[in-house]
Amino acid sequence: MNSNKEDKMHEMIDAYINDMMSLKDKLSFESRMEADEILKEEVFIYMSLKESFNEKDWHTLDKRSHGEALQNIKKELKSATLQNVSINVKKAEEEYYNVINKKLNKRKKFYFVAIAASFLLFASINLPYLLGNDSLEDHYNNYADWEGIPSLIEKGDEVAIIEKLYESKDYNAITSHYEIMQNGSETFHAYSLLKVGASYFFNGNYNEALQVFDVFIQLDTIASSRGNWYKLLVYLKQDNKRKTQETLNVILSNKNNYNYKQALKIKKDLK
């Protein structure tokens, strides 16, 4: 290509990638690209470079031509090792946000010192009496923290569906979805299971909820002890004293277990 022709081509590419062509010219240039693989490739690289190096832009991937690579990465993200790594990161994240939120709350609390002081005075006088009369249902009401089930980290299709349904409190849809997936022997993301268990619970299907929490515990992830906490909530709700005590003992067998301190308080209150 001589210099003039080359310049002309550069000008056209420039106009095309900067979206400065008329519709007619654009269509004509695109059909020219379709007929000329080399030109098409050049334009693609120019476009990629422009999008990649522009701080306010980004070059997005053509997923169709990277299907296998994408599947391999997704498979890796779903592996038990990376799920555990991810749970560890999430755990640190929770601790970080807890501290940040505590700091924020501290500021808010400053304005309510008088009210808080009155409340504490009242509570300190009446607490032994109040606790002494708590039923398991009361304990359930005090400690139920279903909203504390972590949001999902690496969300697969199934995970995203469960997350969305849980947000909209469509518990029936979640349990149906779970049952269909079970029939197909599909595995569920660990945190999805917690939401499935919670959904059975909210629908009053306590036995199914307990079974799902058991599956979660058996997955033996770093977050497994959460499963026992949610089982405890089910037993409290069912007013099942024996199972409540048994589950409390399991949680209290290790200080690192989820909600160890809360379990300790319940144990003391029940004495």
Q: Which residues bind other proteins (CB under 8 A)?
A: 6-7, 10, 41-42, 45-46, 48-50, 52-61, 63, 65-66, 69-70, 73-74, 76-78, 82, 84-86, 88-93, 95-97, 152-157, 159-161, 164, 222
Supply the minimum distance, in Å, between the C-beta of residue 87 and other proteins.
8
Distance separating alpha carbons of residues 191 and 217, to the nearest angstrom: 11
Nearer to other proteins, 90 or 243 (CB): 90
Residue 171, CA distances (Å) to 67, 185, 237 in order: 33, 21, 18
Residue 13, CA distances (Å) to 27, 34, 39, 54 in order: 13, 14, 9, 17
Nearer to other proteins, 55 or 133 (CB): 55
Supply the minimum distance, in Å, between the C-beta of residue 191 and other proteins.
12
Nearer to other proteins, 6 or 137 (CB): 6
- What contacts 228, CB < 8 A, 6 or more positions away? 213, 217, 247, 250, 251, 257, 258
User: CA gyration radius for the chain?
Assistant: 29
Nearer to other proteins, 1 or 113 (CB): 1
Supply the minimum distance, in Å, between the C-beta of residue 47 and other proteins.
11
Supply the minimum distance, in Å, between the C-beta of residue 131 and other proteins.
33
